[in-house]
Structure 1
Amino acid sequence: MKGFLLLLQFMTRIPTPKMEYEPKQLGKAMKFFPIVGMIIGVILYYSFIVLNQYFDSPEVIAILIILIDIVLTGGLHLDGLADTFDGIFSYRSKKRMLEIMKDSRIGSNGALSLIIYFALKGTLLKEVISIDESPYFLLVMPVIARFNSTLNCGVGKYARPSGMGKSIVEETNMIGVLISFVITAAFSYYFVGMRGIYALIVVSILGIYFAKLMERKIGGITGDTLGAVVEMSTIIVLIVGAING
């Protein structure tokens, strides 16, 4: 329970009892990261239910849901997305890429990645909301996305000799990944049936590829790439939701 609350405290802005940061505890709790996604998904889904009573425009609802999502996470994973794209598309040496990713300033590649991300997410959310009167993909989306981050920890290695994400990666083993997968698959199937399983399979395959790509590019995964994979997985899940609608 302590590890999960620490995970909730570290990965979201949802109010929790304040606890001292323990890297190993956080790492061991990564198998429960999809449960954090469930909490976020429930909030997003019921936000839609409320917003749908007051707004006729799916575009407005989609934008407001995106804003709520950002508030819930504090933009933590978006920062990782921008930093990752700044580093990877700098086409420098591995060492220089890691330095760029650690820089708090956003570059042109990072800004471009955020523009494309929000354009895609807004459009796809609008599509999912328009297709389904009760869009359960809002529940499933953050769960599958967070599983992929756990999967990356399990199949990848940490790129730096030290850092905040080192224990998260090292303490996540394949047993933890399997537990995380079962939680995600059961939840996804319950709410959206085989569409959820299809989305999970696609996200998992691309997630493993991404982890191996990061090993080739920068020597492994980092906290930034773990954030990036959450946001990119969100888009993939929404694409599956829109196609199957």
Structure 2
Amino acid sequence: MLRSLCSTFLMYSRIPVPKVEWKEDNRRYALGFFPLIGAVIGGLLIIWRIVCDYLDIGQNLFSAVAVLLPVLVTGGIHLDGFCDVCDARASYADREKRLEIMADPHIGSFAAIKLCLYLILQAGLFTQVTEADTTAVIACGYVLSRALSALTAVTFNSAKSSGTLQSFVKPSDKKITLVMAGAFITASAASAAVIMPVQGLSAIVTAALVLVWHRYSAYRDFGGITGDLCGWFLQMCEIALLVAAVFTERLCLS
């Protein structure tokens, strides 16, 4: 379990942990621990909100750091997947060509455009997050998105028989991973609903809708999922949860 935990943080974060040997036994439960990285990001976001309130730091700086935190923790690995999928879909090529484009380490113009738009929108939305409770709901979303991503990794069809995702899926204990992912989904969703019932429920429904769209579009365009598609889903889920939390709060206040 501890070696799997270290494998998760070594692969999906830049948080220093003890190095473990890269072998299948050490990745057996790695996907199940994936949501803990979201818990770190969420915790840092809440701490930053508290610091901003205490020091009377303005919303622009709060927003900038809020956008920066996930990138600092993860190294941008999921944004990389988001960019690869954007390039592949923008090509309107056949399925095999799209998979080839996703495997290309270079970024294309369409990905650059969509990445800029994504970060601008994310920063703009965070300028509207002024309450600690709303911040906590969004923090729960970082755990929820990764728990759902782990769930899809072991239950959805794979578009490729090899790749980074498969190096974690193939050796995983699927039953235990599903139990762990289910526990994180339940805990994060319940926490969001308890903290702010309306905003929390809207975030949960939004995450479910993004999940359904992810499965449909991944199967339609690629015949299954890949590591890049999991990254795309995670980014889309997180910004959708942010939209839901912000606009639901505004509707409740109006």
Q: In the alignment, is residue 14 of structure 1 matched against residue 15 of structure 2?
A: yes
Distance 1:165 1:133, change over 3 A: closer
Residue in 1 that maps onto 2:186: 182
Q: TM-score, normalised by structure 1?
A: 0.89
Residue in 2 that maps onto 1:198: 202
Match runs of 1:32-71 below 5 Å:
32-54=33-55, 56-71=57-72
In structure 1, C-alpha distance between the alignment counterparts of 2:193 and 2:18, rounded to whole Å = 32
Q: In the alignment, is residue 220 of structure 1 matched against residue 221 of structure 2?
A: no
Q: Secondary structure at the match of 1:127?
A: coil
Query: Contact between 1:144 and 1:237, CA under 8 Å: does it hold in 2?
Result: no
Residue in 1 that maps onto 2:110: 109
Query: Contact between 2:137 and 2:199, CA under 8 Å: does it hold in 1?
Result: no
Q: Secondary structure at the match of 2:129?
A: helix
Q: Which amino acid aligns with 1:49?
A: I
In structure 2, C-alpha distance between the alignment counterparts of 1:193 and 1:17, rounded to whole Å = 39
In structure 2, C-alpha distance between the alignment counterparts of 1:206 and 1:95, rounded to whole Å = 24
In structure 2, C-alpha distance between the alignment counterparts of 1:80 and 1:190, rounded to whole Å = 32
Residue in 1 that maps onto 2:245: 241
Displacement of 1:92 after TM fit? 0.6
Count of residue correspondences: 243
Distance 1:197 1:140, change over 3 A: same
Residue in 1 that maps onto 2:87: 86
Q: Which runs of 5+ in 2 are unaligned?
A: 250-254
Computed over aligned residues only, the root mean square deviation of the Cα atoms, in angstroms, reads 2.2
In structure 1, C-alpha distance between the alignment counterparts of 2:85 and 2:169, rounded to whole Å = 17
Q: Where has structure 1 moved over 6 Å in runs of 4 or more? A: none
Displacement of 1:190 after TM fit? 4.1
In structure 2, C-alpha distance between the alignment counterparts of 1:3 and 1:104, rounded to whole Å = 27
Q: Which amino acid aligns with 1:178?
A: G
Of residues 169-178 and 195-204 in structure 1, the stretch that sits farther from structure 2 once superposed is: 169-178
Q: TM-score, normalised by structure 2?
A: 0.86
Of residues 43-52 and 85-94 in structure 1, the stretch that sits farther from structure 2 once superposed is: 43-52
Distance 1:23 1:41, change over 3 A: farther
Displacement of 1:9 after TM fit? 1.9
Query: CA deviation digits over 1:187-206, x for unaligned, max 9?
Result: 33343335223312321232
Query: CA deviation digits over 1:110-164, x for unaligned, max 9?
Result: 11220111011101111123xx155213422311221231232144111112112
Residue in 1 that maps onto 2:31: 30
Q: Which amino acid aligns with 2:162?
A: S
Match runs of 1:77-156 below 5 Å:
77-129=78-130, 132-134=131-133, 135-156=135-156
